[in-house]
């Protein structure tokens, strides 16, 4: 029979953290004027945080003396780092009295320090308990989650929200601030609840925001301008379902930008509108699964 005594072990390590003796590293958390110095122990930090291990190892290589190690963590506030330290030493975390915005900061700090166990827990906690807050504070949550390649659960949750209620989300913040990875994850979805012409318009608007010197009117663009925009949108254009546009939408919304499209694609699109049964368009994306509003569906059944 194996008996685990983790509770007492946790208490002892917290006492070690609070003790002013035996420390061998100082950590400067925060930025001026809100900076605090924490005393800690290299061995514990190295084995609990892969990123702190790298920072400490780099410091040791550049400092051949036996002096006290001093490192800086300017991206993590003193209040948040104190919470992180208690997790590192004691293996516990209390979120009952934390604002949700602070929980997001804890998540960002855990990500910076590569604390995977804590990252996984916090992502699940936020989605399960704070989904309404996330929707109300979507821009902040989205920005923090997509600053990392490791917060995939929160990223997926944000993408799901955008796919289900795109206009609601887009109206709440400047969608042109979306990183390309986020935009791609959104427009590649089959369940994006948005008309294809609107997807196209939003992608164009996003591209214009990335080239702020461009005049919105494509009639004023030079060939270099089109090439620049084509390069900006190179990963988005293949995800637009042009064949789902009406002929009127194509003429009004796409034809002015035909230089953004590959020549053969544009010719195939023109042919498809002139002769819908020509059978030359085999490799096309199917229409999105847009749900009909329940009220409209009721009217249709009358």
pLDDT band at 300 (very low <50, low <70, confident <90, very high): very low
Q: Are 111 and 155 in contact (CB under 8 A)?
A: no
Rounded Cα–Cα distance for residues 53 and 298 (Å): 61
Each residue of 98-151: pLDDT tens digit? 999 999 999 999 999 999 999 999 999 999 999 999 999 999 999 999 999 999
Each residue of 43-83: pLDDT tens digit? 999 999 999 999 999 887 766 666 788 999 999 999 999 99
Catalogue all structural domains in the chain, each as residue range(s) with its CATH number.
15-55+67-79 (3.30.710.10), 93-173 (no CATH), 174-180+188-302 (no CATH)
Model pLDDT, residue 59? 82
pLDDT band at 240 (very low <50, low <70, confident <90, very high): very high
Model pLDDT, residue 302? 40
- Using a 10 angstrom Cβ sphere, with 0-12 exposed, 13-18 middle and 19 or more buried, the burial of residue 230 is middle
Q: Answer whether residue 180 shows pLDDT above 90.
A: yes
Place of tokens 């917060």: 151
Model pLDDT, residue 297? 36
Average pLDDT along the chain: 90
What is the pTM (predicted TM-score) of this model? 0.82
Model pLDDT, residue 284? 75
pLDDT band at 282 (very low <50, low <70, confident <90, very high): low
Residues ≥6 apart with Cβ < 8 Å to 168? none
For residue 243, give both structure tokens: 């064949």
For residue 280, give both structure tokens: 């030359």
pLDDT, greater one: 248 or 60: 248
| 33: preceding bond cis by omega (within 30 degrees) | yes
């Amino acid at each position: 029979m194996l008996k685990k005594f983790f509770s007492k072990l946790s208490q002892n390590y917290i006492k070690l953290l609070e003790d002013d003796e035996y420390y061998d590293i100082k950590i400067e958390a925060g930025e001026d004027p809100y900076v605090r110095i924490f005393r800690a122990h290299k061995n514990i930090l190295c084995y609990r945080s892969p990123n702190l291990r790298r920072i400490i190892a780099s410091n040791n290589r550049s400092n051949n003396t036996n002096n006290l190690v001093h490192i800086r963590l300017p991206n993590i506030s003193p209040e948040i780092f104190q919470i992180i330290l208690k997790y590192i030493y004691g293996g516990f975390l209390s979120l009952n009295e934390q604002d949700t915005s602070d929980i997001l900061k804890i998540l960002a700090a855990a990500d910076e320090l590569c604390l995977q166990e804590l990252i996984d827990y916090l992502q699940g906690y936020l989605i399960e308990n704070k989904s309404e807050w996330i929707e109300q504070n979507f821009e902040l949550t989205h920005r923090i989650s997509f600053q990392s390649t490791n917060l995939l659960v929160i990223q997926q949750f944000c993408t799901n929200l955008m796919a289900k209620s795109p206009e609601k989300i887009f109206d709440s913040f400047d969608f042109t601030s979306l990183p390309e990875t986020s935009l791609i994850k959104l427009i590649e979805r089959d369940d994006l609840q948005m008309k294809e012409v609107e997807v196209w318009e939003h992608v164009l608007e996003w591209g214009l925001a990335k080239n702020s010197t461009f005049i919105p009117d494509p009639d004023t663009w030079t060939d270099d301008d089109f090439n620049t925009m084509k390069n900006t949108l190179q990963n988005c254009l293949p995800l637009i379902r042009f064949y789902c546009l009406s002929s009127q939408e194509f003429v009004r919304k796409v034809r002015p930008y035909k230089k953004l499209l590959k020549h053969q694609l544009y010719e195939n699109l023109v042919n498809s509108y002139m002769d819908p049964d020509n059978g030359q368009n085999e490799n096309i994306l199917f229409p999105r699964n847009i749900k009909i509003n329940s009220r409209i569906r009721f009217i249709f059944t009358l």
